[in-house]
Amino acid sequence: MHLRAPDESIDHTVEAVERFVEVAAERGIDEIGFTEHVYYFEQTRQLWSMPYHLERCVYDIEPYVDAVVEARRRGHPVKLGIEVDYEPGLEEETAEVLRPYPWDYVLGSIHFLDGLAIDQEPSLVGSLGEDAAWSRYYETLAGAARSGLFDSLAHPDIVKFFGDEIDWDWGAVAASLNGVALEVSSAGLHKPHGKLYPNSRLLAAANERGMPITLASDAHVPQNVGRDLDGAIEHARAAGYETVTVFDERQGRQEPLG
């Protein structure tokens, strides 16, 4: 979840957390995790070169952390996470900005590569073509997995955002991801491509290698908590999964799916 007001503006308060918790309870979801985009926080400014990141990098991280920690203190079933754009070559600096806070889990993601966007125009796929863009994306995702910075990889095949799901060596991709968990997310159902993340072949290849998964609806507003989560669970089951990873203080454990 991204901790926002119902109009999607930034709202890093315990009241905002409670709005998400309320919807989760109504929908029978036991526990939710917040993973705000790290690029909203001024403490990460030195990591960025893209205008998209620099323009958003204006909020203090402390109220975000405090809001989730305080919600947990009040007894709400919430986890403190963060979604971190992987910046190759800045692994040390990334670790440094994350170090002071008590994360339950850290999601790794790639939204920009080589100065181009993955899920916006001008896009990597539009500039390089699918084959070269996908190669570049998956080699970078492997770097993210090897960096040791991340507990789960968010929307791991987002490079399909523009274009088709082309044939790919999913076994090799899964093998390159260092056993890091993959996020199974329903958010893609509401994008123009209308597909779950990741595709069923990547997910089956990950399952064959014993890689764990996490689940996400990627809600940016409380009304979307758990949206289409049943579809994501079904997708994971179809790939052979029976458990989902739950993180506490960056230690994962397996719980039955759904």
Task: Give the number of other CB atoms < 10 A from CB of residue 155.
Answer: 27
Distance of CA 98 to the CA centre of its chain: 16
Q: Which is nearer to Zn ion, 94 or 109 (CB)?
A: 109
Nearest to 145 by CA among 172, 166, 122: 172
Q: Which is nearer to Zn ion, 1 or 14 (CB)?
A: 1
Q: Are 236 and 213 in contact (CB under 8 A)?
A: yes
Tokens of 84: 């971190």
Q: Which is nearer to Zn ion, 14 or 182 (CB)?
A: 182
Cα dist. 169→54, 138, 173, 231 in Å? 35, 11, 7, 25
Nearest to 184 by CA among 142, 146, 138, 230: 230
Cα 56 from Cα 52, distance rounded (Å): 7
Stretch of 93-101, 104-112, 177-185, 227-235 contacting Zn ion, by CB under 5 A: 104-112
224 binds Zn ion (CB under 5 A): no
| Total residues at interface with Zn ion (CB under 5 A) | 2
199 binds Zn ion (CB under 5 A): no
Cα 141 from Cα 119, distance rounded (Å): 15
Applying the rule CB under 5 A, the residues between 124 and 163 that interact with Zn ion are 154
Stretch of 61-69, 95-103, 109-117, 239-247 contacting Zn ion, by CB under 5 A: 109-117
Q: Which is nearer to Zn ion, 21 or 82 (CB)?
A: 82
Q: Which is nearer to Zn ion, 76 or 79 (CB)?
A: 79
The minimum distance between CB 71 and Zn ion, in angstroms, equals 22
R_g over Cα of the chain: 17
Stretch of 95-103, 107-115, 193-201, 228-236 contacting Zn ion, by CB under 5 A: 107-115
Q: Which is nearer to Zn ion, 109 or 186 (CB)?
A: 109
Q: Which is nearer to Zn ion, 1 or 154 (CB)?
A: 154
109 binds Zn ion (CB under 5 A): yes
186 binds Zn ion (CB under 5 A): no
The minimum distance between CB 233 and Zn ion, in angstroms, equals 20
> Which residue has tokens 């987002």?
158
Nearest to 20 by CA among 226, 225, 230, 220: 225
Sequence-ordered alpha helix ranges (H) in 74-169: 91-98, 124-128, 130-146
207 binds Zn ion (CB under 5 A): no
Stretch of 12-20, 26-34, 59-67, 101-109 contacting Zn ion, by CB under 5 A: 101-109
Amino acid in the structure at residue 3: L
Q: Which positions lie near Zn ion, rule CB under 5 A?
A: 109, 154
